Amino acid sequence: MVIYESLRLYTPGPIVPREAVKDLELGGMKVPKGVNVWIMLVTLHQDPNFWGPNVDKFNPERFSNGISGACKHPQGYMPFGVGPHTCLGQHFAIAELKILLTILLSNFRFTLSPKYRHSPIMSLLTEPEYGVHLFVRKI
């Protein structure tokens, strides 16, 4: 749930691009061949119509009944993209994150340093603008 919520609020790859290979109509809008359509995952992942009013809050519990329990739209959550080009490494990535978090949290305690400034920015990837200043204590 913590991993799902982190991928929602701080989506690592915030944009999924697609190119129209022929003239088409998308949601009533004409899209000519060759036009690039950007699916803004961050916008989907922070739409209060899909997620409810507390969309800005980091709340892993929202996934307690799975993705369909957390998000009202079936395509409202796609941190690993969608369709035939969906992320090939998604299951590996989730397994890796679970193992890493387990190792880190069973060996260290983390607290935020007063230097920490919360400022996620969106470039090619979502990044912490001023880094992540933490105090790390061995347990």
Contact, 63 vs 45, CB < 8 A?
Answer: no
Number of other CB atoms surrounding residue 42 within 10 Å? 17
Contact, 45 vs 73, CB < 8 A?
Answer: no
User: Which stretch in 19-27, 29-37, 68-76, 89-97 sits in contact with ligand HEM by CB under 6 A?
Assistant: 89-97
Which residues line the annotated binding site? 87
Contact, 118 vs 136, CB < 8 A?
Answer: no
Instruction: Count CA atoms closer than 13 A to 116's CA, side-chain side.
Output: 12
Q: Read off the tokens for 122.
A: 């969106």
The distance from CA 95 to its chain's CA centroid, rounded to whole angstroms, is 16
Contact, 76 vs 52, CB < 8 A?
Answer: no
Residue from 24, 26, 37, 88 that binds ligand HEM (CB under 6 A)? Answer: 88
Residues in 25-84 at the binding interface with ligand HEM, rule: CB under 6 A: 79-83
Closest approach, Cβ 80 to ligand HEM, in A, equals: 5
Cβ distance to ligand HEM smaller for residue 51 or 79: 79
Closest approach, Cβ 90 to ligand HEM, in A, equals: 6
Cβ distance to ligand HEM smaller for residue 31 or 87: 87
Report if residue 12 touches ligand HEM, rule: CB under 6 A: yes
Size of site (CB under 6 A) for ligand HEM: 16
Which residues contribute to the site for ligand HEM (CB under 6 A)?
7, 12-13, 16, 79-83, 85-89, 92-93
